[in-house]
Amino acid sequence: MQQASFFSPQAGKEITAPDISVARFAIGDVVRHKLFDFRGVIFDIDPVFANTEEWYESIPEDIRPPRDQPFYHLLAENDENNYVAYVSQQNLADDAESGPVDHPSLTEMFEGFRDGRYRLRRKLSH
């Protein structure tokens, strides 16, 4: 399998990833965490784990996800807070039917909520 690399600002280093990685979700999708009570909007996708070792090691070993799957950056919310989350593909499920997400940074990145997802602002798309 061919490999590619990219620089991860979060990890502060080059990350090696397969040339082809299959992401189940897309930017703008509304998702829910399978284990913890929060949901969010995807604003970025890493083809494999690309965060710090400290972050990865802080996950309890019995629920620590494999590194070789897509990881998603979310504008997340729960009943008490809005925050940014970093979640493995295996821990996410579609949540578009629950309606829009209420996160203060949404309007910076996305236009309106339609057909169960957000549209990336035109100025931010490539």
Q: What is the CA radius of gyration of the chain?
A: 15
Closest CA to 25 of 116, 124, 122: 116
What is the structure's pLDDT at 83?
97
Provide, rounded to the nearest whole percent, the portion of the chain with pLDDT above 90: 70
Tens of pLDDT, residues 93-107: 999 888 899 999 999
pTM for this entry: 0.85
Fold of 3-124: SH3 type barrels. (2.30.30)
| Domain coordinates in residue numbering, the chain | 3-124
- For tokens 């990865």, the residue is 56
What is the structure's pLDDT at 6?
67
**Rounded average pLDDT over 55-78:** 95
